[in-house]
Structures are given as structure tokens and as C-alpha cells.
């Protein structure tokens, strides 16, 4: 197999097995035609890029009924407010600036600019979430970001001062073409700012559920510099973020146009100390994943034997990897509670656990809830105090498998 970025020969260091689409929540009559692929992570020692070997076609994942809406987490909406403000203060100093966002989803980030009458444009291929963004006053083009789109936008809107993305860049396999499109659409001294789940956090926390079809890459600063460096961009600043279980924000500019902050060198050093560049680290990660699977299966097996009821909390994309890798299905998890109407009444991909509205969970009294949206733990714990005071207990599996006391 070859690395997507540099073409070097590389091989998967493990397999999570046959996987369905992470967001392929389905109806019973669709079970027999469900799509599967092999989920195998690999690490390229030449360009330091962590990636999955096979990714389903983008159109199979991002379409007119994509079921993830950014606004489902209030904490994330607040985070986007801070992200927008941070960008505004640092990089929007020119007159009548234009802000573009790749993968703007339901407009949770761009709305901040829209409300302040800042010129903006979102580029979002999933038509349903793009429509939701428009209903919030966010100008949105339904399209995958490409050089053609960038050329058309540069003519219609002018060039962008900043191009933003959040939890999107790691979804796009051909980053060379993203860099070409950025080159067309970005002003000469403009910046590209994006944030994504961070490889260092994933390894440290054994959050292997970050690995699924949509996440074709899990980035480190080494990888981002080597991927975009091929197209004349360099990382000029970085910022560690607590979102989605540990993320990194990268600011990139055309080489030599802006000073490189000390934080970049510091992070590159830290990555070396964490041995993110060594194949051995990924062998250890495979062992961590296997241990996590054994422990989660053992805990759920014990609770079942004791006659306890366990439900899942939040039908996340990430949970598709956990359930299918650990072979956990409706025998162990009665149902999954979720707030998204597009998922409710359907079944989880692959293992076919029913998804039910959150109202059902609130009215029910299960003994245990497996926290699948562990990345929104603070927000969920705050909202679910009643579950806990009624005797309900949380099971978590990141950073380790345990029942929270």
C-alpha cells in the first residue's frame, strides 16, 4: 500500500475489521444491503501521516441526509464563538474582509460573522446541513471544496482573508487539491486556519474511536507541515484545544509571508519526545486498543450476567468503531439515546442497536449509560444530573474503561 500524501510504501499496523459507514444509521429493511469496508489504520514513517488505508467514496458519506449537525452540542457552539472571535482579532484587520469556511455544516461557526455583518461564505457538500445554515442567515454553497469551486468563488466573492475549517480537513483524502484550491482562493497574505482531533491525544487516551471512515487522517504538526509544505504553505502557529477529546488548531500561511511562532517548534519537539514518528508507538497503540476492547466487553458482559440494564448515550460516529470492533450489539446495549431526529427510530450501523429519542432516556431509568459522546462529558454530566441522582451510573471507555463513581 502507498501513503496518500508522499506515495511511500506503507502497511496497516492493525485492523479494526469490517466496518459500516460511521453515520450510516439505517432502517431494518436496509440491513441486508448495508455497505462495509475494511478499517485499517497505517502510519507513514516518511511524511509522518497517520491515515486509514481504505476510505469509502465521499458522496457515500456526505449527502443530502448527513445526520451530524454541529449545533447538537451547546459547548461546541460556544467554542465556535470563541474561535470566530480569536480569528477576528488576529487576522481580520483589513477593510471589508471575506471569511470562508470549508465544511461549514449547519453554520454554527460562520453565524458569528454573519451576525456581525462580516462577508462570509460556507462551502458544505451535505445539502441538508447546508440548508440549515442558510436558515440561520449563513451564506452557503452546497459543494465539495475544489479548485473549480475556489475559482468561481474568487470571481464572485473576491479572495478570502481567512479560510477556516473545523473537524473537516481530516475528512478530505486529497489534501494536495485542497492546497491548490486554497492557493486560488486565499489573498497573498491570507491565512488558512483549521482544527482537528490531535494524534498525540488519541494515542495518550486510547481514543481509537476517532478512527472511522470520515476521519481519513489524524494529524500531528509534523504531518500538517509535511502535507501542506509540499504546496508552499507552512504552519505559523498552533494552539492545543480541549474540544472533541483533544484537538489542535493550526494556522498556515504561504512560506515566508508571516513569522513562525515559537509554539510551532515547541510542539514539533514535544511530538518527537512522544515518539509520534516511530512505528513502535503504533504497535503499542494497537495493544492499548486490544486491552480497551477486552475490558469493555468484560464489563458489559458482567453487567448483563447480573441482570443490569445498559443503554448508550449519544449515537456518535465514533461509537460505530467501538461497537463493531468490540462486537457490542443489542444484547449488551438496549438502545442508544440521541437528540438528532435523523437518527431516531433507526438502527446503529453494523451492530443494529435501536436509536431512540432522548425523551425516552429521560423518562426511563436504566441502571447504566455508556457515554459514547465522552468528548462532551462536562456538558452531558451537567445536563443529566437527574439520571445520576436517580441512581443511574455512567460507564466510560476513554481514557480508560470504568464505571464513574
Q: Cβ of residue 306: shortest distance to ligand DWN, in angstroms?
A: 27
Q: 105 touches which of ligand SAH, ligand DWN, none (CB within 5 to 8 A by kind)?
A: ligand SAH
Q: Cβ of residue 184: shortest distance to ligand SAH, in angstroms?
A: 14
Q: Contacting ligand DWN (CB under 6 A), which of 47, 314, 322, 371? A: 314
CB-CB neighbours of 45 under 10 Å: 13
* Interface stretch with ligand DWN, choices 6-14, 51-59, 119-127, 334-342 (CB under 6 A): 334-342
* Interface stretch with ligand DWN, choices 34-42, 89-97, 136-144, 333-341 (CB under 6 A): 333-341
Which residues of the shown chain bind ligand SAH in the complex (CB under 6 A)? 58, 62, 66, 68, 70, 102-103, 105, 123-126, 129, 144-145, 166-168, 171-172
- In 3-state terms the chain splits into helix, strand, coil percentages (rounded to 5) of 40, 25, 35
Best CA proximity match to 168, nearest among 75, 250, 104:
104
C-alpha cell at 103: 465544511
**Comparison of 292 and 316: residue with beta carbon closer to ligand DWN:** 316
What CA–CA distance (Å, rounded) separates 360 from 369?
13
* Interface stretch with ligand DWN, choices 217-225, 271-279, 294-302, 374-382 (CB under 6 A): 374-382
Cα R_g (the chain), whole angstroms? 21
> H or E element: which one contains 179?
helix 175-185
Q: Cβ of residue 352: shortest distance to ligand DWN, in angstroms?
A: 17
- The answer to whether 375 contacts ligand DWN (rule: CB under 6 A) is yes
Residues 190-249 that bind ligand DWN (CB under 6 A): 214
Q: Cβ of residue 76: shortest distance to ligand DWN, in angstroms?
A: 7
Q: Cβ of residue 22: shortest distance to ligand DWN, in angstroms?
A: 7
| Residue pair 201/246 in contact by the 8 Å Cβ criterion | yes
Q: Cβ of residue 64: shortest distance to ligand SAH, in angstroms?
A: 11
Task: Report long-range pairs for 281-285 (Cβ below 8 Å, ≥24 apart).
Answer: 281/203, 282/13, 282/14, 282/41, 282/43, 283/13, 285/13, 285/203, 285/206, 285/208
**Comparison of 103 and 245: residue with beta carbon closer to ligand SAH:** 103
Cα 205 from chain centroid (whole Å): 16
CB-CB neighbours of 257 under 10 Å: 13
What CA–CA distance (Å, rounded) separates 15 from 262?
37
**Comparison of 227 and 328: residue with beta carbon closer to ligand SAH:** 227
| Residue pair 275/281 in contact by the 8 Å Cβ criterion | yes
Amino acid at each position: 500500500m502507498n501513503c496518500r500524501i508522499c506515495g511511500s510504501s506503507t502497511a496497516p499496523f492493525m485492523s479494526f475489521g469490517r466496518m459500516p459507514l460511521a453515520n450510516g444509521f439505517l432502517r431494518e429493511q436496509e440491513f441486508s444491503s448495508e455497505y462495509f469496508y475494511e478499517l485499517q489504520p497505517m502510519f507513514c514513517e516518511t511524511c509522518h501521516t497517520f491515515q486509514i488505508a481504505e476510505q469509502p467514496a465521499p458522496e457515500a458519506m456526505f449527502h443530502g441526509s448527513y445526520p451530524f449537525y454541529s449545533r447538537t452540542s451547546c459547548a461546541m457552539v460556544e467554542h465556535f464563538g470563541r474561535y470566530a472571535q480569536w480569528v477576528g482579532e488576529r487576522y481580520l484587520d483589513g477593510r471589508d474582509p471575506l471569511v470562508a469556511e470549508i465544511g461549514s455544516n449547519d453554520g454554527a461557526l460562520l453565524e458569528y460573522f454573519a451576525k456581525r455583518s462580516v462577508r462570509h461564505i460556507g462551502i458544505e457538500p451535505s445539502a441538508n446541513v447546508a440548508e440549515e445554515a442558510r436558515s440561520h442567515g449563513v451564506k452557503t454553497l452546497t459543494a465539495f471544496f475544489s479548485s473549480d469551486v475556489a475559482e468561481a468563488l474568487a470571481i464572485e466573492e473576491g479572495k478570502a482573508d481567512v479560510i477556516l475549517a473545523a473537524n473537516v480537513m481530516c475528512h478530505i483524502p486529497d489534501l494536495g487539491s485542497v492546497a491548490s484550491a486554497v492557493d486560488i482562493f486565499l489573498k497573498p497574505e491570507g491565512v488558512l486556519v483549521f482544527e482537528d482531533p490531535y494524534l498525540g491525544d488519541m494515542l495518550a487516551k486510547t481514543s481509537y474511536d476517532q478512527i472511522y471512515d470520515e476521519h481519513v487522517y489524524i494529524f500531528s504538526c509534523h504531518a500538517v507541515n509535511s502535507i501542506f509544505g509540499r504546496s508552499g504553505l507552512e504552519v505559523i502557529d498552533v494552539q492545543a484545544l480541549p474540544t472533541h477529546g483533544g484537538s489542535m488548531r493550526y494556522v498556515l500561511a504561504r512560506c515566508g509571508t508571516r513569522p513562525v511562532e515559537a509554539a510551532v517548534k515547541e510542539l514539533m519537539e514535544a511530538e518527537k519526545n512522544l515518539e509520534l514518528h516511530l512505528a513502535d508507538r503504533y504497535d503499542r497503540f494497537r495493544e492499548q486498543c486490544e486491552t480497551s476492547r477486552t475490558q469493555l466487553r468484560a464489563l458489559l458482559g458482567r453487567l448483563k450476567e447480573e441482570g443490569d440494564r445498559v443503554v448508550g448515550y449519544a449515537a456518535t460516529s465514533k461509537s460505530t468503531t467501538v461497537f463493531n470492533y468490540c462486537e457490542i450489539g443489542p444484547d449488551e446495549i438496549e438502545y442508544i439515546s440521541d437528540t438528532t431526529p435523523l437518527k431516531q427510530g433507526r438502527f446503529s450501523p453494523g451492530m443494529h442497536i435501536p436509536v431512540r429519542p432522548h425523551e425516552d432516556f429521560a423518562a426511563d431509568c436504566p441502571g447504566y449509560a455508556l457515554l459514547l459522546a465522552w468528548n462532551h462529558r462536562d456538558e452531558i454530566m451537567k445536563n443529566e444530573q437527574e439520571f445520576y441522582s436517580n441512581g443511574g451510573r455512567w460507564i466510560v471507555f476513554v481514557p480508560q474503561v470504568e464505571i464513574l463513581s
